[in-house]
Amino acid sequence: MKKIIFRIAAVLILVFTVSFFNNVKAQSSNTIEEIKLNPNDGFGELRKLVINNFDFTNPNFTEGVVNSDVQFSIAENGKITNVHAKGDCKYVSEELENVLSHLLYKVDTSKLSKNMIASTYVMPVSVRINR
């Protein structure tokens, strides 16, 4: 009788262990790949469009240098989607989100190198606000 109980306990422990590791493996495979963009990465045209379309006249902007990180995705057709910005001034972040969300610009995904393909891109932006 002890052998039967021991075998059942061993099987239950084995099943629990296997299911636990399968769950951990499934969770780790769903990570979001993120690439932090730098000045020499081929997104220079996008940076210029952000600068040209940014509205510096908002009176709520914090004066001085405002640093932000803008996260976005690129759809298969090259359209910029899922834009979220975080930074020192929430109004600058909102303006960056607005500019990137409404651009009539598509990224030429065929020009991206294999190591530039990602789920999420992060573009650091520094804006100098002078009054």
pTM higher than 0.85, yes or no? no
> What mean pLDDT is reported for the chain?
75
Q: Tell me the pLDDT tens digit for each residue of 53-103.
A: 998 888 998 889 999 999 988 887 888 889 999 999 999 999 999 999 998
Share of the chain above pLDDT 90, in %: 21
At residue 130, what are phi and psi to the nearest 5 degrees? Answer: -115, 140
